[in-house]
Structure 1
Amino acid sequence: MPKRVQVIGAHSADFVWRAGGAVAKAVSLGGQAEVIALSYGERGESGELWKQPGQRVENVKKIRHAEAEAAAAHLGASFTCLDLGDYPLQIDGDRLLEIAEAIRAFAPDVLITHTATDPFNPDHPIAHGAVDRARSLAAGAGVTSAFDTIKPPQLFLFEPHQPELCSFTPTVHVDITSVWEQKLAAMGEMKAQQYLQTYYAQRGEHRGNHARRASGRSEVKYGESFMRVLPQVVGEL
């Protein structure tokens, strides 16, 4: 069945590197996808832009928005930034409710965000905590509530830059071979972080290799890996 996939990242480029293939794959199968960035990563994630003399924060945000919007278009997804600021990203009560409302409005089948641990990026764990809590607020406790609720979306964590240091164990490999060129095109839009394009192209090949070994499917060439948070409910094993 076509699925509604929502990716919420701390910064405007996070979705491209870590879940761009899964987003494009869902859309190619008839689903819908929405990308939400909590910030543009304008202060700590825009290295190439800050090399330009006289650079300003508002100009960096403008450039980052255009990059992310173009990248999302390659994948068939919409892009929105809540512009909450980065380094540090801080989520108060009002902002938490804003994230919960975004989840409630889109009502995703699948929700994807960061791991709870990342010793090298202070914003990623904050994003995880906010999205995880907002998801629970949007879905309620599984009973009739004083507010509108949605069916609980499945929660997945995308692969961090250094998974072995972030308590990340892949439990799902997604075959993104058929949409690999779309992911490459999306990554190519992120010129403020060109240094990551080679790394994540190589990671796609690595995870494709792991997916082949796990499945025996020789046709899988590229993959993305995710960690399932909630149990999968099935009628049989």
Structure 2
Amino acid sequence: MSSTVLAVGGHIGDMDLTAGPTLAKTVLDGGRAIIVALTYGERGHPRMTPDDYRVQKVDEGKAFADAIGAEFHVFDISDGFLEVTDEVAGRLAALIRETTPDVLIAHWNRSIHRDHEHAAQLAERARFLASLPTDDGTLPTDAPRHGIGRFLHAENWEDADGFVPDTYVPIPDEPFEVWRAAIQGQAFARGETYGFRYIDYYTALLTMRGCLAGHSRAAAFKQAGSASQTLAGP
């Protein structure tokens, strides 16, 4: 049976980088991939105004999702101002009920970036709320409750504090090439904002994790309460 994978990031582009190869593999394997950005990430360009960069970020996020065959959602919340509230968690829980994912991917819960930590907490809270019997209008949806069996934390260089992967997803050549071509469309990933070579970094990370997992490339995740494992897919 094909999986539905929902990836939740703090900003547009976060899950594209960290979970993107796995999402591309999910789609190529016949599954469904959904990307959610909880903020626009519009304050991350040193030479563009937040208003202008917000428009560009949304266009880039849509283009990336289209290129790998994923669905794209962005919440109307400003970069740097993501708070852990039941209103935001409830909106995410409603999306979980409507899309019924088998796998939830989010940031690791300790990061140098507050939006990343808050996004991880919101994903966990939303997962819980989506599973509750709430037919009293508590959530903004009429969809029935839904439980997600697997919750994975993606590997991100900004979220490295205490991150020790225990789950590896092999990334064959085809999804890697699909991801690599798609991520080139994002200015920050190309190093055009603050100069960090994101694409090179995550390409090298896939190779390094592949060495440990016994594959040419692999994406690493941390799953609470699991033993070390290599998965055919998420």
Using the size of structure 2 for normalisation, the TM-score is 0.85
Find out whether 1:123 has 2:125 as its counterpart.
Answer: no
Work out which of the residue numbers 98, 111, 114 in structure 1 matches 2:104: 111
| Alignment partners' CA distance in 1, 2:61 and 2:105 | 17
| Alignment partners' CA distance in 1, 2:167 and 2:86 | 33
Match of 2:204 in 1: 202
| Alignment partners' CA distance in 2, 1:73 and 1:63 | 15
| Alignment partners' CA distance in 2, 1:231 and 1:205 | 23
How far is 1:58 from its partner? 2.0
Match of 2:55 in 1: 62
Match of 1:222 in 2: 217
Q: Which amino acid aligns with 2:170?
A: D
Q: Which amino acid aligns with 2:199?
A: Q
Check the 8 A contact 1:155/1:230 in 2, yes or no: no
Structural RMSD (CA): 1.7
Q: Which amino acid aligns with 1:160?
A: N
| Alignment partners' CA distance in 2, 1:162 and 1:128 | 13
Unaligned runs of 5+ in 1: 213-219, 233-237
| Alignment partners' CA distance in 2, 1:209 and 1:135 | 32
Distance 1:129 1:121, change over 3 A: same
Work out which of the residue numbers 114, 138, 152 in structure 1 matches 2:148: 152
| Alignment partners' CA distance in 2, 1:126 and 1:180 | 29
Match of 1:26 in 2: 26
How far is 1:156 from its partner? 0.5
Q: Which amino acid aligns with 1:149?
A: R
Work out which of the residue numbers 211, 214, 223 in structure 1 matches 2:213: 211
State the percentage of identical aligned residues: 28
Check the 8 A contact 1:21/1:183 in 2, yes or no: yes
| Alignment partners' CA distance in 1, 2:145 and 2:158 | 35
Residue correspondences, number: 212
Distance 1:162 1:61, change over 3 A: closer
Work out which of the residue numbers 145, 161, 165 in structure 2 matches 1:170: 165
How far is 1:7 from its partner? 0.4
* SS, match of residue 222 in structure 2: strand
Larger Rg: 1
Check the 8 A contact 1:175/1:222 in 2, yes or no: yes
How far is 1:95 from its partner? 1.7
**Runs of 4+ in structure 1 displaced over 4 angstroms?**
none
Unaligned runs of 5+ in 2: 136-143, 192-197, 228-234
* SS, match of residue 169 in structure 2: strand
| Alignment partners' CA distance in 1, 2:60 and 2:17 | 13
* SS, match of residue 221 in structure 1: coil
